[in-house]
Structure 1
Amino acid sequence: MAMQKQKVALITGANAGIGLAVAERLLQCDHDLRLCLACRNPLKATAAKLALEAGRPGATIDIVIVDVGCVKSVFKAVQEIKNRYSQLDYVFMNAGAMGEVKFNWTFLLKNLFSREVALHMFRTGIGLIEQVDSTTEEGLRQVFATNVFGHFIMLRELEALFGCDGQPTKIIWTSSSNAIKASFDINDLQHKNGNQCYSSSKYICDLLSLHINCTYNKQGIYSSVTNPGFVYTKMTNSILPDWLWSVSLWLLTLLRFLVPSMTISTYCGAESLIDVWRKPVESLDPYSKYYSNAGLFSKAFTNQHKLDVDESLAMQTFEKLDTMLEKVKRSEPPWTF
């Protein structure tokens, strides 16, 4: 009988936050799984690898250095991944950026006692936070490049490693409840004209996931989007000053009575990603986002919310990104789109 190949899980942004929590939980669930930590910082990647190995001696853990927000870095990493692996079974599109975040105190105070608006505000962050984006040296908007385009390049360039030998590949996106259709403009994919670049980028992830399922399921490629909830990480830490976080965290924990997606910890935040990883592909709903939730005493659980997406818009978005990718391959930076 032929020996079964060791399954491989690639995780972008794996040295901290949700990415590291996913790596830890994967090793707890499957001792034979091979991990590829795709990280920007070599020192932090090595530290994460050592920490994971300490918790699971004998685990097979590789490192690929990649800055997902840098096109040149992504292409270099893609080649390294192709040289190293014959197949990828799970790909966690997790690395992300928010840009410079501004907290809208006026909106908070104005709507705090309006139940419907307040719940929407805490669930999605819409109105509460505004993001100021920057431009990369390659001419792309930073949040778009990191959250969308770098991952899109990996998706397209690694396609030959997906769905190999009759085994399905799962693409699992770290999206957000902040992914709102109203923030998205098909004619402004990089969100140059607005202050909700993070929301727009995560909505694009939702659209890409749907298109993958509509187009590539027959090739054994399946995609799901997840929402880790509100997690206290280095990225979200910039929203408020440190002293205010120390006061707010216990209030946010109590808020779980009304908004269970206040997961706070990375362990609870990773719940939906692990849940999707566990489920058979046949049971996954391409029109749903899987939400991480936590009870008052931090018991993690998952539920589903219908995506506000349609196949036509998903296809248009995918095609526009393909056009951008072809231009990138034919020319040198900086690029203008």
Structure 2
Amino acid sequence: MAELAQDDLQNQFYVLVTGANSGLGLAICARLITDFLTTHPSTHHLTIIFTTRSSKKATSTLHHLQTLLPPISSPTNSSRITLHPETVDLSYLPSVRALSQRLTKTIPKLDSIILNAGIGGWTGIDWPRAIWGTLTDLVHSVSWFAHKIAPVGMITPPQTTHNVSNEPRLGSVFTANVFGHYMLSHNVMGLLRKSTQPGRVIWVSSIEATVKHFNVDDLQGLRTKVPYESSKTLTDILALTAESPSTRKWVEGFYSPPDKGDNGGGDVDEKGMQPRMYLSHPGVCGTGILPLALPLFWAMIVSFYIARMLGSPWHTLSTYAGACAPVWLAVSRQEELDSAEEVYRAHGGGKVKWGSSCDRLGRDSAVSTEVDGWGHGGVVGEAVVMEDRCRRRKRGATDLTAEEKVEFEELGRKCWQGMEELRVQWDEILERDEKEAGATA
């Protein structure tokens, strides 16, 4: 498969999706199939490489996706889709390295990677406050749900076998949601550079991300009571400042493919086009990331529906609708994405946080999301797109100021520097551990 002619590769599309065992990840794979078949010509072929944490979950996901093919397409269209399961534990860095090596050896390129997998890290809900908030302020409460309880300082199990005593700590939510994906993306950069268009690194964030939940001196969220929200805010900062001049030094290191024989395990293409980074979120939909008893789950869905009827643009309810934005970023022509961002760039802005949105009739679309400290697309002042100005805002939101944007970009510089230094440190640790393991084998 890795030796297809270049002409053939132009009609072949390879998309990697993490966390596809259920919920949003599974819906992303399903929507990739339907949207690809309806937007690409019949000569195009899509390979979806989806990851789960175990072979059992991979088999279940594969079976589910295979059942989707006949109802939505003709046999000819079914042959245009290839499903390729992989296993990885994104909170265990050796597993991430192993996946990178397998991909480099088995596929010729990657056109997009959708970084969806993650954990909430919550242990419960502050029910009295949650019930009161839902009854008295429903739309805000079920959009930016602030009543989840998470332990402080949760760390991953040891990452190495020979240097456990000297191993630095890694936050469990940080690693599963951000750092594992960051390492994976860097390790497969050679495959992304082989895409016939700029490869796409598509982060799946959350509507709940806000700089108020983030401390750059606690990059891993080990001291915060909201590690999930902290990790998603870090995701936003990295993606939105990836093209800022202040982050260039560190971003170039991230986009540089590993050396031959290193993490990726194969040839790399230094001369390929530099990939582009995009940011998305699924709105508010019903997933299993916050475990609830079945009656409570359906009560949650009902509250989401009421919020949508009351004017919330973010309550997508279903994971299929929630997959709208990340899939749109993956399957659209580059010209379409460039055009969507151009209006923001023309007014001094840059990257946009694209969210899955629904109207009252359930019609979904990918729209700009206002971000604390970045506004809509990094444009200072009032939103420049009419739809953005008309969309319901988070309570307390204010128009972006020039000072806030400078602060956000400086925050981005510090985050990119911290992430790159951590990546280099852990690459050295894992390489040393692999060498010691080989010496004792």
TM over 0.5: yes
What amino acid is the match of 1:185?
N
Q: Deviations over 1:173-206 (max 9, x none)?
A: 1100111101111111111111110111001111
**CA distance, structure 2, for counterparts of residue 90 and residue 332 of structure 1:** 26
Percentage of identical aligned residues? 24
Residue 270 (structure 1) aligns with: 323
Is residue 2:417 matched to residue 1:329?
no
Is residue 2:202 matched to residue 1:172?
yes
Residue 306 (structure 1) aligns with: 370
Q: CA shift at 1:293, angstroms?
A: 2.0
- Describe the shift of the 1:76–1:135 C-alpha distance in structure 2 as closer, same or farther (beyond 3 A): same
**CA distance, structure 2, for counterparts of residue 35 and residue 162 of structure 1:** 14
- Describe the shift of the 1:247–1:305 C-alpha distance in structure 2 as closer, same or farther (beyond 3 A): closer
RMSD (Å), alpha carbons: 2.5
Which one of 253, 262, 271 corresponds to residue 305 of structure 2?
253
**CA distance, structure 1, for counterparts of residue 324 and residue 96 of structure 2:** 27
- Describe the shift of the 1:242–1:166 C-alpha distance in structure 2 as closer, same or farther (beyond 3 A): closer
1:173 counterpart SS class: strand
TM-score, structure 2 as length reference: 0.69
- Describe the shift of the 1:165–1:64 C-alpha distance in structure 2 as closer, same or farther (beyond 3 A): closer
- Describe the shift of the 1:283–1:213 C-alpha distance in structure 2 as closer, same or farther (beyond 3 A): farther
**CA distance, structure 2, for counterparts of residue 230 and residue 321 of structure 1:** 28
Residue 318 (structure 1) aligns with: 416
1:19 counterpart SS class: helix
Give yes or no for contact 2:240–2:352 (8 Å, CA) kept in 1. no
- Describe the shift of the 1:112–1:212 C-alpha distance in structure 2 as closer, same or farther (beyond 3 A): same
Q: CA shift at 1:80, angstroms?
A: 0.9
2:149 counterpart SS class: strand
Gaps of 5+ in 2: 38-44, 70-77, 159-168, 256-271, 342-349, 375-407, 432-441
Which one of 2, 20, 27 corresponds to residue 26 of structure 2?
20
- Describe the shift of the 1:206–1:109 C-alpha distance in structure 2 as closer, same or farther (beyond 3 A): same
If each structure's strand is expressed as a fraction of its own residues, which one has the higher value?
Answer: 1
Aligned residues: 328
Give yes or no for contact 2:142–2:303 (8 Å, CA) kept in 1. no
Residue 89 (structure 1) aligns with: 111
Q: Which runs of structure 2 are paired with 1:3-152 in the superposition (5 Å)?
A: 3-5=7-9, 6-31=12-37, 32-56=45-69, 57-58=78-79, 59-108=81-130, 111=133, 119-125=139-145, 127-132=146-151, 134-138=154-158, 139-152=169-182
Gaps of 5+ in 1: none
Q: CA shift at 1:279, angstroms?
A: 5.2
Greater alpha carbon shift after TM alignment, 65-74 vs 319-328: 319-328
**CA distance, structure 2, for counterparts of residue 279 and residue 253 of structure 1:** 32
1:154 counterpart SS class: helix
What amino acid is the match of 2:149?
E
Give yes or no for contact 1:64–1:81 (8 Å, CA) kept in 2. no
Residue 208 (structure 1) aligns with: 238
What amino acid is the match of 1:253?
Y
- Describe the shift of the 1:192–1:329 C-alpha distance in structure 2 as closer, same or farther (beyond 3 A): same
- Describe the shift of the 1:84–1:297 C-alpha distance in structure 2 as closer, same or farther (beyond 3 A): same
- Describe the shift of the 1:165–1:272 C-alpha distance in structure 2 as closer, same or farther (beyond 3 A): closer
**CA distance, structure 1, for counterparts of residue 275 and residue 6 of structure 2:** 24
1:60 counterpart SS class: strand
Give yes or no for contact 1:41–1:65 (8 Å, CA) kept in 2. yes
**CA distance, structure 2, for counterparts of residue 102 and residue 222 of structure 1:** 37
**CA distance, structure 1, for counterparts of residue 66 and residue 354 of structure 2:** 29
Give yes or no for contact 1:173–1:205 (8 Å, CA) kept in 2. yes
Is residue 2:339 matched to residue 1:283?
yes
2:242 counterpart SS class: helix
- Structure 1 or 2, whichever has the larger Rg, is 2
Q: CA shift at 1:165, angstroms?
A: 5.7
1:303 counterpart SS class: strand
Give yes or no for contact 1:230–1:262 (8 Å, CA) kept in 2. yes
Q: Deviations over 1:203-255 (max 9, x none)?
A: 1111221243444699431111111022212213x1x4332223342232121
Q: CA shift at 1:114, angstroms?
A: 6.2
**CA distance, structure 2, for counterparts of residue 154 and residue 220 of structure 1:** 16
What amino acid is the match of 1:83?
K
Q: Deviations over 1:133-154 (max 9, x none)?
A: 5321124221101001100101
What amino acid is the match of 2:317?
I
